[in-house]
Structure formats: structure tokens, C-alpha cells
Structure 1
Amino acid sequence: MRPKNYSQMEKPISIATGKFRTNNNNNNHNNVWFVVPLFFILCFVLLCFDYSALFTDTDETAFSISDVTQKSTSSEFTKDDNFSRFLDDPSPDSSCSGRYIYVHELPYRFNGELLDNCFKITRGTEKDICPYIENYGFGPVIKNYENVLLKQSWFTTNQFMLEVIFHNKMMNYRCLTNDSSLASAVFVPFYAGLDMSRYLWGFNISVRDSSSHELMDWLVVQKEWGRMSGRDHFLVTGRISWDFRRQTDNESDWGSKLRFLPESRNMSMLSIESSSWNNDYAIPYPTCFHPRSVDEVVEWQELMRSQKREYLFTFAGAPRPEYKDSVRGKIIDECLESKKQCYLLDCNYGNVNCDNPVNVMKVFRNSVFCLQPPGDSYTRRSMFDSILAGCIPVFFHPGTAYAQYKWHLPKNHSSYSVYLPVKDVKEWNIKIKERLIEIPEERVVRLREEVLRLIPKVVYADPKYGLDGNEDAFELAVKGMLERIEEVREMMRQGKDGSDGFDDRDDYKAAAEVLSMATNPTFQLFPSSQGSGLGLGFLDSPEPTLPPPPPPVEVLSSEVSSSVDFEVDKVTIGKITLLKGRVSTKEVFGLPNSDLVPGVYEGGLKLWEGSIDLVKALEKESQTGNLSLSGKRVLELGCGHALPGIYACLKGSDVVHFQDFNAEVLRCLTIPNLNANLSEKSSSVSVGEAEVRFFAGEWSQVHQVLPLVNSDGETDKKGGYDIILMAETIYSISAQKSLYQLIKRCLAYPDGAVYMAAKKYYFGVGGGTRQFLSMIEKDGALASTLVSEVTDGSSNVREVWKLSYK
């Protein structure tokens, strides 16, 4: 069976070695008369000596390597059946325009030789790596599937075999070319992870770095390098990217410095876990399911959809006592206490339970939620195993998934996972069972359905078959890489410097690491070799910058904090009496009482004057007939205590959504304050059944999780919020642009309105209504009207403005 979308283009693979040709297209027709007879001669010789290498096994699974101890002829990569026909028809395929990839024919020592000498890769580990090279890197076929797995397409795949798997997949990519002038990208099949695995234990840094230097010396003299100075080149590794970012030349430091070599910084690297640099990208760990068709994927999805699940949650893993701030010990303790609702699959040293994919999948498919705490690094293959099983992943750190797999997982993290942030393991106060039980059944169903939908996106399909034109993890990675390179190429077309920002820190990816510092300063997966800085090693820099924001997420009303003391006071606003909550900044954030800490805590626990001003203005507008909140869709930005949004609930709004920078503010203050006010008023006032939801995130990103936004950032008559409320949100000039862009994304057209309360000037930080309104006036989309002005002497002049479409 062939993939439906296979093209008739040239397949530049050497028959004898499985490597790429470099001969010119003009010679192809002449060479074919030599190649074809040679092909049959070689086949006859191979048949005589080892006929098993030319056939499939009893399960019809092709072996790319028949004997790992043989020399180069045994290390063939998969090849297209109609190779000679591609040689005869080298014309470009129009459907591959912008998608052609050229693969370098590297010296054999950089890939094939590593497979021939696979026994050398096992240093420092207990496992023999050689069997995992079989079947294109998928490993041995699972034959004893115990009615847990499908009868075929399941393998004992090693999680670090991504380099071999990706290379084999690339050899069957439909838009390969041996004419590098046609290529949009250049793939460098260097097995960096396997190479370095030989030298991680007991070797000096010159040995660890030798292959990296040799590779770059070879690449920079190739003609392909000169076009974009390597910025169209990419490689793939089966280890985490931090293994290639050793920051010093101390012998005791871990890994190589491949990614800090000047030439390597011009390349992009795909790995199972990325760093926070722009030129590193995370793609899924290889799982054990490598389907041959879409039908197999659908069959598995249906099986998982109908699966009865006995356990509420499961953890498969081992404690990490060597990491003093690891949450694993706490998770294991709680799981043991909840025997009837939690299953613990012990993966401690010497326990082989977790080496068998059947054991892992049997447990995961029998559980509703699968706990995914960090281990030796932020990420885990287990999260992808849980997705395969339809088991909803539960994360404790944003670096495990949210800041990693942006080409493969939804931006709306709350659509497929549950997030339980850990501020301080020493003060562990999360009751996992209670948190998970509180999630409504209908939401569990939605979460599981989204998880099942992700399955084809996180598997590496059989390279000889694919998914009938559908995108698997490989296809999505290639697509993402091509788009990234095209962005750089477009910059160069415009006369800009293609190196600008190419290997800078990526704020979104770095957010996860910085968030761990902000919420738990002692959390440290990668020790700093510098002995100074942030204490996170890879984040240390001479000039620390403002921490990037945490990733956007929906916070469920059931996630209200029960561990923080919450008290209420009455606040009278004209003729209205509302409740305002009181919580300690130190208790919630571990910070001394402070108005705000930029990038970490944005002041949401304090009741600002503008919130009271805004409620007064809304009441006045309602009484004069200028505003009706009944039946409206309302969004409060920077909500904190949420008094304006609570007022909208009391006035009969159909939808009221609350946003704040910090999820902790929503859990510890906003949700309990809303509950207290609605409970107080329900006995004396007719409170409508508003749809109330809560969203955390920075203004440039939170639209990714908000349900009511305009299509493609443009005004859309069907989308948006009727009323947007915000108080004291424009104090920072640097944040005003992203706030205004969010307003335009979210405001319903043409009758939507924004009510904004703020000070005329924020002394010391530069913001204020004058500066913000000036930006709006220059943009020209919205008109502004002054609703009220407050000069009570308690602060500088405060104002409430109404913004609406012109």
C-alpha cells in the first residue's frame, strides 16, 4: 500500500548505502543504465548471504537493519519501491513548492557508524540499545499484546530513538530533492544524541565536543551553507536540548556545547524537550504506537473512547529524592492513601513494570487522569503515552507541555489538560483527589475528546505507509520548521538581517522556567555552573530581564483555593453594598506585601480606587438609560476583586468572564469573592444564571483561551463581548499596546463598548489615560467619551471613559 499523496518526484537515495546522491540531474539518465543492473546484482548477492534482510517478519514489519553488527550495507534506511522511476522523472512537483527538503549526505561517522557500533552507546545505562534500532528505530514488534493493544503497529520503542525514526521518516518524505537549489530547508541527519551518549560518563569535554566541531567544520564548507549562513538547516536529536548547551568548559559540567558553537547557533534543532532559545523546538517523544493507516488510528480512538475507567487518577513513575523540591514524593504518598481511586505503577530502579508498554497502557487506559510531574527534566514521554490512552494529563509545571510542543498541542492548554501549580513543595497543600473529583463530568468528557483528537498529531506513523495524507508528529514538525525558515527568508527578502532574534531567548518558552522561579524560587532542575544568577543555570545571564508571563489558562471555579485564609469586608458604593475579600500577598505569592512585582504579580490582590469608581459609573449609566447590562456578554480585564464584573452579574448579564494576569489571584480572591457576593445577594435580589468563567494570562496571549473573540483579530458580527470592563489596567506604558490589541480582538462589532477606569497620570511608571487615549486616537478605530471624573484628594485625578466603535 502506498501513501495516497506520493509524488512522482526524484527520490535521491543511494541504493547500496541508503545515503543521498550528490550527482547532477543531467547525468541521471545515463547513470540509470549502470544503476539498474547493479541493483539486481546486489539484490542477488544479498539474497544469497542474508535473504532475511529482504523480507518482512511474520508480522509484516519491515526491518531497516537486519544485523546491527554488520557494516554499512546493513544500515540501510527505508527507500521508496519505485526509486528507479523517480530517477527517470526528475521534474519538480508543483504540490511540493515551498516544501522541498534537501538532506545532506554526511560522512558515515555522523550517523550510520553509530548504529553499527550501537553497543558503545550503552555506557552509563543498564539497557542494550541495539535491539531498539530495528524497524526504522521503532524497536522490536510487540507480539504479546494481551488484548491491551491492537494486534499490529505497536513496538517496544526507546524514547531516545527519535533521531533514527525521524531520519527514516525523512527518507520517505514526499518532497525530497537532490537539487539543493530547489530546497526550502536542509536536513542534517547527525545523530547528536546517540553520539554524545557514548561520552556522557567519564570523558573529558574535548571528547564530548569533538563530533560537534567536526560536523560544523564539514557543514560550513558545503555550498548549501552559504545561502542563508545555515539558517535554513535543521537537525533532530532524541535527547533534551539542554544536553547540548553546556555553558562552561568545566570537566564536571554535563553534556556538550554543540548549540553554543557559533555556526550551530545559525541552525535550528528539534528535540524531545526544547530550551528557551528561539532556535530550539520541541517535538513529541516517540511512543510505542506507529500506525500504518488512518483506519488504525480511528480504531484505536474508538476503543479508548468506549473504555471503562476504574481509577480516578494514576501515576507511573519513581520518586526523585535527589531533587529536594520534586513533587513526586508527595504525589506517591497521596496515591498510596487513595488506593481505590489511584493506581501507582512503580517505576523505581530495578522495577521492570514500566519497561513493558503493555503494562503502561493497561494502567493508563483504565484511568481518567494521568499525573505528569517533572522528573529528571521538565518533560516526560509518559504524557504522550497518556494521550494515546485517552487519559487526561495533569501537569504541575508549565514547562512539561505548555511551553514546549507548540506545533503539536493546542494553545488553549485547559482544553486538553488540568494544571495544578505547585508554589512550594515544602508547603504542599494540594489535595489532588479533591481537585479532580470537583471537575464536572461534562468537562471531563470534553477534555477526553480533545485528548483523543490529539492522537494522530503525537504519533510517528510507519514511514512506508503514513496516514493517508493526514499529518502525524513528523509532518507537523516538518511543516513548523518550513514555516519558521520561510519567516527568516522573508526577513532577508525585505533587506533585514536574518540573524535578528534567530538565536535569542524565546519569551513564551522561557515563561515556564521563570514562572517556576516566581512561584517556587528553590525549584532547580539544571544546576547553575556559574554559582550565581537566578539559580536556574540555563536562565542565568549578565543582565536579567523582566520575567516573561505565565502561559494563558482557564481556571475552573472548582479550583478555588482552600489553603489561603479568605476574609471579607463590606464596601459601600453609593447605594450599593458589595463584599471585598482580603488575602495576604505573602501567603499567596510568598512575597512581602506589595502593590505589584512586574512580571510576577500585577497587584490583583489589592482593591484599587478605580474599581469602585467604575461600579459607581456603571450604576449612573444604568440609571440614566445609557447602559443596560441585562442579557449582555461581559468581560472584565485585570479583575482582581472583580467588583465591576460582580455588578454585571447582579444586573442580569448572560455571560460574565473574568481575566487576571495571575491564576493565583483568581483562585484565592476572585472566585471566593464572587461566591461570597452572589451568596449574599441571592436572598434579597433576583440573581440571574450568568455563565461565569475565569481566565489567567498576559494580554498578548490570553485571547488564545478566551471563548468570545473576533475571527482572525478582526471585527466579526458574531463574535466578541458586548461590554468590556477594566479598572487600573493602563499604568504600564509597555503593556498598553497589547491591552489595546486584546480589546480590538474581543469587542463585539458594531455596538460593543469599553468602560475604563484609570488615573489621569501614574507617576513613576509613565502610564495614564492621556497616554492611552492618545494611542487610541492615532489608531482611529475607537471613539472615547468621558463618563466621570473623580478629584476627591485621595490620589491624583481619576477618570472613567467609554470607548466605542466610530
Structure 2
Amino acid sequence: MAFSFSFAGDDIEEDHQLPASSPTAANSTAANSTAAGPSPSAAGAFPVQGRPLLPPTHHDLDDILSRLPSKIAFSLLDVVLADGRTVQLPRRELWDVRVQLMAEDSTDNPSESEAGLGEHDVKTGIYEGGFKSWESSVDLVKVLASERVADGLGRDPCVLIELGCGTALPSLALLQWALAGGQSEQKQPLVLTLADYNPTVLYLVTLPNLILAWALQQREQNPCVGGALTPDEELELTPEVLDAFKGSLAANRITLSFLSGAWSPEFVDLLSGSAATASLPATTKTLVLGSETIYSPFALESFSTTLLAILARERRERPSSNARALVAAKRLYFGVGGSLDDFVDRMRGLGAAVRTLFEETQGVHRGVVECQLF
């Protein structure tokens, strides 16, 4: 299946420091329900009706690592939290992604290559979101900090799932916080699952950003990593650096899992059947994350039913885990029809309890909500 990639649009500026916003707690008006949500539909994550969708697929870490270039260029995004602290999150430069795509492009049709690197607005049927860092993903980082999610990392067995991950800013923050806790024999396992519709996004930006987040956190402790970071904000991906990355994950009991393909019942089965989570105890804490995943009615429908299926399965298999989801989105997606209010109504209609954790009323109105099944 061919894709058209677009790198234009409203990506967060690389040198833009985002202001702090204090999350606002709101009382939930949803009634709790003990009934599991309905089975997810076959709608896919890429909401174009009648178009074939990629099947859910698991990707091995070593396989994705083998596709990385010898070095990657990056920039840093400063996220100012509600308490005044600043989190620095790395993102691979889009021009560096372009260079890799052009180097790998073996198509005989120049128009396809040009479309992939062209200047497009957001259009239905043109996949472009995964390479960008959207404002709502930054909102989600702030909420993760204010909710003190980092306190449970290493203390409890945790499963963290980011759906529609793209540049994976929330997961980058979680990885840095998990590594900051240091190594110990008492440290509990963490399974971090990154899922994006397009497998290309996983190896072009998701995994590179995770490696960058690890490298920045480890540069003072590991001479190999410090020497691989250049003054020009590039990281040399030598075999020694990649081995150190995998070794650090193992030493900290962190497992990375990667999934691609459309949201569907098969996607939920693949996610739940992961070998990394099979041996985890019933007390495992599960947190599902999503940002900018409900930007059209089709995406909203497939995301909400898939999310409910994940939460319902977690409740059934780990009743004491109190699985929950944090979803960040714009209040309204002009021109394409999705909205956060529609998502909240949909989730409550399917039996979930929903409460607002964050609201941004300046500029583009956005919010972050928590969803749970009881």
C-alpha cells in the first residue's frame, strides 16, 4: 500500500518554549458501569472509508534498529510543567527524515517520491501526522507530570501503551523518568508499547526519538554515549551506542514493543498477546495514552471502540490493575469533523467514566480527559 508523506503544517517550532498550564480537575458526570464495552469494529486508524488498511503487525526491536542510519540529527523541545520544572524532549529533525527517505527511495515513479516530500496541507488520504509533534502531545506530557505517573515507574509493574504514537513525546518523557530512577534489584518491570498505523513512522521517528531520549539522560553517566553526541546536535548510532541502549533497557527492566496497522479487534488481540506482558502479575498498572487520535468521525469511532476493548480486557484479566486511559485532543477539528466533546459522549455511551484533567482555553482550545471502566 503506497503512502504520500507530507512534512508541511503546524509542527511545534523546534526552538519554541511552551508555556506552563495548570491542569484543572473537574468532577466526572459519567455513571460507572460494570458492563464491558462492545467489541471494537473493523474500522481502521486511518479513516478513509472503503480503502484497504494495513493489518496489525508486531515489529522486533532488533529489526527496527537494523534500519537506522549511521547518525541522526535532532532538536530539543522545552516543555515547561505546571510546577515550573522544564522537561527537554528530543525530536529527530524532519530534514534528516527527508534525507533518509530519499536515500531509501527506489521507486521508478518520480511523482510518488516528490509527493512524499512535497508541501501539503492536511488532507484525507495523505498520511502526514506521524512525523509531527502536535500541541496535544505536549499537553499530555504536562498531565503525566501533574498526575505523578513517574512515581509508580519502578515501584509497580507497569504497562504503558501509546496509540498513534508518532514522535512519541509522552513516551519519551516516561522513558526518561523511568531511567532517572536508577537501577536496583527491587525495580519492577516496565513494558512500553508504541503503536502507529504506519510502520515507517516507527523506524523513522519513534525509535530514533526513544534512543535520543535515552542518550540525553545517560550522556553524563556513559562515556560512549557522551562521545557519540556531537556539538551540532547529532547522535552517532555506532554499534557500541546501540548495544549500550539495549543493555540499559535490560538493566532497568524496560521492554520496548512496537505495533503497526489499523485499530481493530485483531490489533487488540495482538496487543494483549504480547509475550512481554504475559508473565506480569495481576497487580500490574496499565495506562493507555493517545493524543490527536480523534481528528475525524472515522478515527474517533475506531479509536474509541479499540480503547474500550483494551480497557475491558485489562479489567477482565487484571481486575485490580485499575487500567485507565489519558486522551489529549483539540476541542474541535475544523473541516474534518472530530471533536473532544464527541469523544467524551461516545466513551460515556459505551460505559466508561470520563473526567477532565486539563483544559486549554487560550488559542486553540484543547483538553485531556481520563477514561476508566469500573
Same fold (TM over 0.5): yes
Distance 1:721 1:597, change over 3 A: farther
Separation in 2, partners of 1:549, 1:720 = 32
Other-structure match for 1:579:
90
C-alpha deviation, 1:649, in angstroms: 2.1
Other-structure match for 1:654:
190
Check the 8 A contact 2:87/2:173 in 1, yes or no: no
Separation in 2, partners of 1:609, 1:567 = 22
C-alpha deviation, 1:702, in angstroms: 2.3
1:562 aligned counterpart, secondary structure: coil
C-alpha deviation, 1:573, in angstroms: 1.0
Separation in 2, partners of 1:620, 1:632 = 18
2:129 aligned counterpart, secondary structure: coil
Taking structure 1 as the reference length, the TM-score comes to 0.30
Check the 8 A contact 2:162/2:195 in 1, yes or no: yes
Separation in 2, partners of 1:798, 1:650 = 25
Other-structure match for 1:788:
358
Match status 1:698 vs 2:266: no
Match status 1:770 vs 2:341: yes
Check the 8 A contact 1:605/1:641 in 2, yes or no: yes
Match of 1:678 among 214, 226, 230: 214
Match status 1:614 vs 2:120: no
Distance 1:620 1:722, change over 3 A: same
Other-structure match for 1:37:
none
Q: Deviations over 1:436-476 (max 9, x none)?
A: xxxxxxxxxxxxxxxxxxxxxxxxxxxxxxxxxxxxxxxxx
C-alpha deviation, 1:704, in angstroms: 4.0
Other-structure match for 2:327:
756
State how 1:5-404 maps to structure 2 within 5 Å. Answer: none
Match of 2:152 among 628, 634, 642: 628
Moved more, 551-560 or 691-700: 551-560
Other-structure match for 1:637:
163
Other-structure match for 1:226:
none
Match status 1:798 vs 2:366: yes
Distance 1:673 1:758, change over 3 A: same
Gaps of 5+ in 2: 5-41, 81-85, 102-111, 179-188, 222-247, 275-280
Check the 8 A contact 1:634/1:657 in 2, yes or no: yes
Distance 1:740 1:545, change over 3 A: closer
Match status 1:731 vs 2:267: no
1:576 aligned counterpart, secondary structure: strand
Other-structure match for 1:568:
74
C-alpha deviation, 1:790, in angstroms: 1.6
Check the 8 A contact 2:43/2:301 in 1, yes or no: no
Separation in 2, partners of 1:507, 1:788 = 29
Separation in 2, partners of 1:744, 1:645 = 21
1:706 aligned counterpart, secondary structure: helix
Question: What amino acid maps onto 1:732 in structure 2?
Answer: S
Q: Deviations over 1:142-176 (max 9, x none)?
A: xxxxxxxxxxxxxxxxxxxxxxxxxxxxxxxxxxx
Q: Deviations over 1:466-500 (max 9, x none)?
A: xxxxxxxxxxxxxxxxxxxxxxxxxxxxxxxxxxx
**Greater radius of gyration (CA):** 1
Check the 8 A contact 1:757/1:801 in 2, yes or no: yes
1:651 aligned counterpart, secondary structure: helix
C-alpha deviation, 1:759, in angstroms: 0.6
Separation in 2, partners of 1:564, 1:728 = 31
Check the 8 A contact 1:597/1:603 in 2, yes or no: no
Separation in 2, partners of 1:564, 1:596 = 31
Separation in 1, partners of 2:262, 2:283 = 21
Question: What amino acid maps onto 1:679 in structure 2?
Answer: A
Aligned length: 259
C-alpha deviation, 1:654, in angstroms: 0.7
Question: What amino acid maps onto 2:349 in structure 1?
Answer: K
Distance 1:763 1:693, change over 3 A: same
C-alpha deviation, 1:595, in angstroms: 5.8
C-alpha deviation, 1:689, in angstroms: 3.0
Other-structure match for 2:51:
547
Distance 1:753 1:507, change over 3 A: closer
C-alpha deviation, 1:551, in angstroms: 1.7
Check the 8 A contact 1:759/1:799 in 2, yes or no: yes
Distance 1:602 1:783, change over 3 A: farther
Separation in 2, partners of 1:576, 1:550 = 35
Question: What amino acid maps onto 2:56 in structure 1?
Answer: P
2:145 aligned counterpart, secondary structure: helix
Separation in 2, partners of 1:720, 1:745 = 18
1:722 aligned counterpart, secondary structure: strand
Gaps of 5+ in 1: 1-397, 399-420, 424-505, 509-514, 516-543, 710-716
Separation in 1, partners of 2:175, 2:160 = 9
Distance 1:680 1:607, change over 3 A: same
Tell which has more relative contact order, 1 or 2 (C-alpha 8 A, sep 6+).
2
Other-structure match for 2:205:
669
Distance 1:689 1:766, change over 3 A: same
C-alpha deviation, 1:600, in angstroms: 5.3
Q: Identity rate of aligned residues, in percent?
A: 27
